[in-house]
């Protein structure tokens, strides 16, 4: 009995990374790359068209970062498996994406075999974490109750913080997210209040420090 071909979506804003990941994946006949995207929002459109089994995502991508994209994909495709393939290994990022349903996490500094091993595990709906993502952190996540911090941002607030960090004004953000300028202003004010920030520059610095955008 032949192994079913797994459909793969690759999302990274660097052409060379996407090309390298595609070439590695295509060495295996049981994987098929069905789409590539350089930002989070186009990734959602491509996913809706191609219905991938596994999405390989970077964390720092434009429009909608890896966390927001993972949440959106899991809402639309509950059975999809997501592999974070990134250079970010900060504890708060790992914890956030695990809570979003990501079950694979490897670093770009890991050997190529980890990427294929992660895909092999996820294709069987098994988790895979490279050695750099410590067992202690995984245990902490699995044993803890996911109670959101009172000051944590909502997904919409995170999206708006990312848009601001990428240099867009309220009107542009409203057009991108298909919401009113007033709604943008409300979420923006709420985010700044939760984060105890006073200026747009403070918000941009927060987005950079927390990996929501790249400097």
Asked whether 68 and 162 are in contact (CB, 8 A), the reply is yes
Query: DSSP state, 191?
Result: H
CA dihedral 159, 164, 166, 171 (to 10 degrees): 100
pLDDT digits (tens, 9 = 90+) for 105-161: 999 988 889 999 999 999 999 999 887 775 646 666 666 644 444 347 888 999 999
Query: DSSP state, 38?
Result: S
CATH topology of domain 6-143: Rossmann fold (3.40.50)
Question: Residue ranges of the domains in the chain?
Answer: 6-143, 155-209
Do the domains at 6-143 and 155-209 have one common CATH topology? no
CATH topology of domain 155-209: Arc Repressor Mutant, subunit A (1.10.10)
Beta strands in the chain (DSSP E): 6-11, 31-37, 54-57, 81-86, 104-107, 128-129
pLDDT digits (tens, 9 = 90+) for 155-182: 899 999 999 999 999 999 999 999 999 9
């Amino acid at each position: 009995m032949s192994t079913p071909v797994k459909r793969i979506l690759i999302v990274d804003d660097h052409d060379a990374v996407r090309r390298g990941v595609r070439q590695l994946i295509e060495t295996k006949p049981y994987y098929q790359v069905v789409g590539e995207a350089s930002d989070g929002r186009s990734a959602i459109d491509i996913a809706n068209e191609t219905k991938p089994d596994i999405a390989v995502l970077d964390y720092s991508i434009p429009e909608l970062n890896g966390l927001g994209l993972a949440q959106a994909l899991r809402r639309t495709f509950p059975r999809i498996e997501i592999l974070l393939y990134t250079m970010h290994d900060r504890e708060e990022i790992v914890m956030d994406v695990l809570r979003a349903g990501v079950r694979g996490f490897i670093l770009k500094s890991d050997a190529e075999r980890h990427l294929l091993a992660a895909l092999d595990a996820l294709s069987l709906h098994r988790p895979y974490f490279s050695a750099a993502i410590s067992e202690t952190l995984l245990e902490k996540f699995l044993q803890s109750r996911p109670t959101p911090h009172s000051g944590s941002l909502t997904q919409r607030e995170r999206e708006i913080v990312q848009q601001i960090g990428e240099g867009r004004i309220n009107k542009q953000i409203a057009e991108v997210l298909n919401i009113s300028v007033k709604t943008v202003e409300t979420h923006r004010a709420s985010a700044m209040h939760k984060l105890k920030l006073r200026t747009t520059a403070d918000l941009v610095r927060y987005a950079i420090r927390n990996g929501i955008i790249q400097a």
